[in-house]
Amino acid sequence: MKNLIFLALLIGFSTFTHGQNCDTYAPLTEGVFLELTNYNAKGKATGRTEHLVIDSSPASAVFQATIFDKKDKEVSQMEYNVQCADGGFQVEMANYLDTGNLAASEFEIEMDGDFLTFPANMQVGDELEAGELNAELQSSGTTLMRLGFSIFNRKVEAIESITTPAGTFDCVKLSYDFTSKTGFINVKGSATEWVSENIGVVKSESYNKNGKLIGYSELTRYDK
């Protein structure tokens, strides 16, 4: 199962923003490239996602995310936004939608979602805001399926270092619960992720409602 919260997603590079106290958790420099590889609970690679900054300003950026399956075949591509706003760093919830299994040339996905906020100066014990995304899978103007994804009970758990194939990073460890709905299928679970001010999410783990590991993602490449 592809990790829904590879959050990724959620990648970072510290930058100065005029007039805002914002610890950025995504690169705001055009051309920066990050790759996150997804694994199942047994450590077998199940796919990867490339994130490329295609447009940027001092306080925001647009990413192009390209999703590849376990055979390294491109199956989906989308764009999402990140920004400094309201005293924190925000990542568009579109980045959390798993489009890999839905990709087909005749399909269109209409999305309406929140921005997930990462406050400045996060401390252990801080409780963070929730986020929600709703989407429709359409073909020729007809809705084929409705999808939803919610993240809640977000909390800062610890400050620790994490090592991935891309290097060793000082991180803020976050935890949260999630629910996802695809048609009539509802999934509940929880997740842990490690985010770095300079890189963003370098590792994430997702668990089912019984606390059993479903899969995880790691940062495997980072090109400035």
pTM: 0.82
User: According to the model, what pLDDT value does residue 134 have?
Assistant: 87
User: According to the model, what pLDDT value does residue 108 have?
Assistant: 72
Partners of 120 in the β-ladder: none
User: According to the model, what pLDDT value does residue 106 have?
Assistant: 52
Distance CA 114, CA 99 (A): 17
Distance CA 202, CA 193 (A): 8
**Which residues are CB-neighbours of 19 under 8 A, at least 6 positions away?**
none
CB 64 within 8 A of CB 52: yes
Ranges in the chain, pLDDT < 70:
1-21, 97-107, 198
User: According to the model, what pLDDT value does residue 181 have?
Assistant: 87
Report the top-level CATH class of 33-223.
mainly beta
User: According to the model, what pLDDT value does residue 166 have?
Assistant: 94
